[in-house]
Structures are given as structure tokens and as C-alpha cells.
């Protein structure tokens, strides 16, 4: 059950969506109900080190 991060192309709202295997539900923006959303690259703990770099401290929900 991964949580994916999305960004709405209409209103630029960033949001997360919990997905289940085999789930064919259309992803829609919770803000404007737009269907034009793109999955974003997430920051993981693997990259959250001082030697490699880290996610921005003030980034919303893992975006950097």
C-alpha cells in the first residue's frame, strides 16, 4: 500500500494518495477536483543524509 505524491496541473495543489494493488480509481485533485494530475518524485530516507543531500526542511509532505 504505497502512498504516492501528486501535483494538480490546474491549481498546482500537492497531495498524497494511498493506493491499493489493483485499484483502478481515477486520481483527482482534492482541492479543485481536476483530473489532470502528475505523480511526483518523492524524497526517501535513502537520500536524507548529510553527505548526499537532504529534502528541504520546509518542503510540504516530502517534496523538495
Which sequence spans correspond to the domains of the chain?
Answer: 1-44
Average pLDDT over residues 22-38: 92
Q: What is the pLDDT of residue 53?
A: 47
From the CA atom positions of the chain, what is the Rg in Å? Answer: 13
Task: Identify the residue with better confidence: 16 or 62.
Answer: 16
Coil, strand or helix at 9: coil
In the predicted structure, residue 54 carries a pLDDT above the cut 60: no
Amino acid at each position: 500500500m504505497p502512498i504516492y505524491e501528486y501535483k494538480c496541473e490546474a491549481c498546482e495543489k500537492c497531495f498524497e494518495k494511498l493506493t491499493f494493488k489493483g485499484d483502478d480509481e481515477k486520481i483527482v485533485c482534492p482541492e479543485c477536483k481536476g483530473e489532470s494530475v502528475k505523480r511526483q518524485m518523492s524524497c526517501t530516507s535513502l537520500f536524507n543524509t548529510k553527505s548526499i543531500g537532504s529534502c528541504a526542511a520546509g518542503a510540504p509532505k516530502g517534496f523538495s
